[in-house]
Structure 1
Amino acid sequence: MVENIENLPTYSKGQLALRNGQDKPAIWIAYKGMIYDVGASRLWKGGKHYEHWAGQDLSEELQDAPHAEWVFDRFPLIGRLI
């Protein structure tokens, strides 16, 4: 975990939307205001994970996931969503 999240770069929803694995090669998702790079995960190949698309805030969608928010511990925290 990053010790000082205030020092992380900030990104808008528009900037996040471009990191969908199609418009730009980066594959990012947001959860609870934090942005994670999920590009190294085979489960996010092409910017899609089951019915979820990268480049979005998935905070609401996690409620229906078969896992909890601990899953984000596996991915680099790269910024904050503003």
Structure 2
Amino acid sequence: MKTYTRQQLALRNGQDKPEVWIAFRGVIYDVTDSRLWKTGKHYEHWAGQDLTEELNDAPHTEQVFERFKPIGRLI
């Protein structure tokens, strides 16, 4: 799997580039096609970031990431 830096991930925030990516536990997921991430924001969470620590505040479990395609690893 291809690797990406935090800076590369940050550019996929739905504003700077057309892709919308998020990371969880070192894996980067493409959420571009999700209606919940269309603007690069999902409730109070922003795309282009590692959301591992923020999952504790979410109303869902980590199984939600199974809906999205893993595209790389965060280094």
Q: Percent identity?
A: 73
Partners of 2:33 and 2:25 lie apart in 1 by 21
Q: C-alpha root-mean-square deviation of aligned residues, in Å?
A: 0.4
Correspondence for 1:39: 32
Q: What residue ranges of structure 2 are gaps of 5+ in the alignment? A: none
Name whichever structure is richer in helix by fraction: 1
Q: What residue ranges of structure 1 are gaps of 5+ in the alignment? A: 1-7
Runs of 4+ in 1 over 3 A off after TM superposition: none
Correspondence for 2:46: 53
- Bigger radius of gyration among the two: 1
**Does the alignment pair 1:65 with 2:58?**
yes
Letter of the 1:57 partner, please give it: D
